[in-house]
Structure 1
Amino acid sequence: MVALDTLRNINKNLASVQNEISTGKKVSSAKDNAAIWAISTVMSTDVESFKTISDSLNLGSSTVGVARSAAEAVTENLQSIKNLIVSAQQSNVDRDKIQADIDELTKGIQTSVSGAQFNGLNLLDGSSSADVDFLASLDRSSSGTVSASYISVGRQDLSLSNSATAATFGTTANADQTIIDSGVNSGTATSAAAGGTLDIAIASVADGNSYRILLNDSATNNTLGQRTFEYVAGSSDSADSVAANLANQISTYLSATGETNYSVSRTDGTITIANASGAALAVTATATTGGTAGTSTGGLGNLATIDVTTDAGATAALTAIEGLLQTSIDAASALGSSQKRIENQGEFVNSLVDAMTTGIGGLTDADMEAASARLQALQVQQQLGVQALSIANSAPQQLLSLFR
């Protein structure tokens, strides 16, 4: 019995070592070490979230980079316009041809600004003054509470015009404020029951229209806070593609932050927001149309007034172009600073993922050299245990031979 018990213990230890070697983990499940497994699992989920955040930062860097490049191109065109204006200060030049060149450069600036979009978001066209937030980090407190941090990038207005008029979003002009609550799509609902859904239908799409959805539970659950998702439609967009882009933005955000109270789905041009929490979620859906030239002055609106065909016009243009150049330079500088900050955060997140992965490995990975040595030792012990058990089993036979 002693030999049998010894052999059982050896086989148990041997199975444990073989599991370490086959999985590469000394803690591969909760039964191995519940505390270490729990810590490593939480850290592993954070690592996956930070990988998604890295993608978000790459998207943000690309978006801001496109706007910065466009702002720098606008600055170069404005410098060329300034050179032409300086040439027009003389009275013995063909000012009409100089003005024609200025008009063409102005059109080039318009093209650069309108084309400075990445994934439908334009930071230069003056369609909105609201900052754009890019997911930058997940902050876990000592109590286990997780909150999201953002990098806010200010929009710049380098448009010649940026007028905006009321637009149709669903069946309501300009804004549709409602509460997701018990499946009742009504702004008068006051109950905080779970299980509610809200359909947001995009009725019409036009080139340059900006579509925005604001989710806000800061007054109730405050797990989501206030978050805005926006898409600017292009000439090839439809209600389906606009809805798909907005739904994808919301879904990516919820997945990255681990938010489980809310979810999003889409059917054609209709976005469905589902609330699985026990409190109301405020939803604001707005759309704004792009303006028409000359109805409202943008950041470079004074370009439209430059006329060097007269002495007075040439003199006034020299003063105006300095202000326009400074506006463009400031915009490019601000966007460059924001892009650098996003890229630095991206590098930090990548380093953080590496450090966390190393830490998780230190908690759970097996020491393969030690495990290999233990395996060989246990195999020898197993062979000796079998032999000891065989000797023990033969002892009764030897005892019986004494009675023959």
Structure 2
Amino acid sequence: MSSILTNNSAMVALDTLRNINMSLSKTQSEISTGLKISSAADNAAIWSISQVMQSDVDGFGAISENLSLGNSTVAVARKAAESIVDLLGDVKTQVVAAQESGNDKAKIQTEIVALRDQVNSIVGAAQFNGVNLLQPGQDISILSSLDRASDGTVSTSAISVSRTDLSAAVEVVGTTATTAGSLLTGTRTGSAVAGNATPANAIVDFTAGGVEAGATYQITLDGNGAAGADTGGVQTFTYVANGTETEVDVSTALKAQIDTYLTDNSLTLITTSQNATTGELTIAIGGGQGTDSINVGIAEFTGGTAAGGLTELGAMDVTTTEGAAQALTDIETLINTAIDAAAAFGSVQGRIETQQSFVQSLTDSLTTGKGALVDADMEEASARLQALQVQQQLGIQSLSIANQAPQNILALFR
């Protein structure tokens, strides 16, 4: 049946042409953008996955830059440490020469001082991006990876780099008295603690925020009575902070000095303990008679200089026979310290370079994977474009023929 109101052939031809034009538009978009999925409307699931992968690629790009900065920072420290090893080798040559009684020890000492100054110069200059790993300070962490768990949770990984102080600074105790309690406080300071007392101890607390460069902490210990309590007079234990340490660090250093003295002198009645969180030191006497006692005192000063990692080099003096002999012992320790530092930095640098290579490979893999999901196959798109263009032309012809069908009905009325 023919109708002048409903042209089924034209509707079919129009619908076909409309679908062809939609496919042609999509193909042209793929060719112009290079993407078969350019928005969430194309395929929401694949688009979401590709965006997560792209965010990871961007993140690893930032990590790669961070690793490059970290690598340069560690490389500077490693090279400086290696240079210091060479200089200490020259110092050793001078120290060995000082062992000969016929050599001019004053001139040798002048050479050692010059080499020491060069070591300090290298330490001062060994910084990159404001970080000097050869000076005291907090250890640094280099962001090295983004770790994505199966549930999508992202965490970071970092490479820790420990500082090694290679300065030749000699410890200088501060002499400027501070306000009482600014560095140390004591609950039983200056009072005698008897062996039978309850509690039989003195407590030394470290004031929060008191640790700064040159802050000098001093604890005195005077024990009397039995052999296990008699300290042989007032003993002074001193520590000068470098400004990067915590109260616990200072407490640990002082405790180590006191414990060493107690052990070396068999003072078995006196013990120390430490609060690992606050650094609070407890010095106790126990197991003796009521006549046994200890006096614990504290003092605090500013204006000091903390000892450097190569402090023996700063104090080295070969102008005397005793000094030359001591220098020969010290120089071996100093060289090993510098060698260990250079080796540690070299090990970290190697790890960073390995991680850099891995991050680059991972970034390439993610980029390839993302491309496989969303990139258009240009060869296929080209062939499809040619076919669709032909289909479009045929569709137009078909629609034109279908539109002429109602005119044929006029022949029936002639």
- TM-score higher than 0.5 here? yes
CA positional deviation for 1:350: 1.1
Equivalent of 2:409 in 388, 399, 402? 399
Give yes or no for the alignment of 1:154 onto 2:136: no
TM-score, normalized by length of structure 2? 0.66
Alpha-carbon spacing, 1:12–1:358, altered in 2? closer, same or farther (3 Å): same
Aligned length in residues: 287
CA positional deviation for 1:209: 7.7
CA distance in 1, matches of 2:153, 2:314: 53
CA distance in 1, matches of 2:327, 2:167: 18
What's 2:140 paired with?
132
Equivalent of 1:55 in 51, 65, 87? 65
Equivalent of 1:15 in 25, 29, 35? 25
Alpha-carbon spacing, 1:72–1:93, altered in 2? closer, same or farther (3 Å): same
CA positional deviation for 1:39: 0.3
**CA RMSD, 1 decimal:** 2.4
Give yes or no for the alignment of 1:312 onto 2:322: yes
SS at match of 1:117: coil
TM-score, normalized by length of structure 1? 0.67
1:364-403 alignment runs, 5 A limit: 364-403=374-413
SS at match of 2:141: strand
- Kept after mapping to 1: 8 A contact 2:77/2:132: yes
Amino acid at match of 1:387: Q
Alpha-carbon spacing, 1:385–1:48, altered in 2? closer, same or farther (3 Å): same
Amino acid at match of 1:120: G
Give yes or no for the alignment of 1:94 onto 2:108: no
1:347-358 alignment runs, 5 A limit: 347-358=357-368
Unaligned runs of 5+ in 2: 1-10, 183-207, 212-241, 247-301
CA positional deviation for 1:312: 2.1
What's 1:335 paired with?
345
CA positional deviation for 1:397: 1.3
Equivalent of 1:123 in 117, 133, 138? 133
Amino acid at match of 2:168: L
The Cα offsets for residues 51-96 of structure 1, whole Å up to 9 and x where unpaired, read as: 0111111111111111111111111110000011111221222211
CA distance in 1, matches of 2:163, 2:314: 22
Alpha-carbon spacing, 1:173–1:162, altered in 2? closer, same or farther (3 Å): farther
1:261-272 alignment runs, 5 A limit: none
SS at match of 1:120: coil
Amino acid at match of 1:117: Q
- Kept after mapping to 1: 8 A contact 2:170/2:314: no
CA distance in 1, matches of 2:210, 2:391: 80
Amino acid at match of 1:147: S
CA distance in 1, matches of 2:342, 2:327: 22
CA positional deviation for 1:391: 0.9
CA distance in 2, matches of 1:365, 1:372: 14
What's 2:257 paired with?
none
CA distance in 2, matches of 1:300, 1:70: 14
Between stretches 300-309 and 320-329, larger displacement belongs to 300-309
- Kept after mapping to 1: 8 A contact 2:77/2:126: yes
CA distance in 2, matches of 1:99, 1:161: 17
1:176-255 alignment runs, 5 A limit: none
Amino acid at match of 2:54: S
Equivalent of 1:106 in 88, 98, 116? 116
CA distance in 2, matches of 1:305, 1:366: 72
CA distance in 2, matches of 1:140, 1:70: 37
The Cα offsets for residues 126-178 of structure 1, whole Å up to 9 and x where unpaired, read as: x22x42111011111111111111100111121223879999xxxx9558xxx
- Kept after mapping to 1: 8 A contact 2:316/2:323: yes
CA distance in 2, matches of 1:3, 1:90: 111
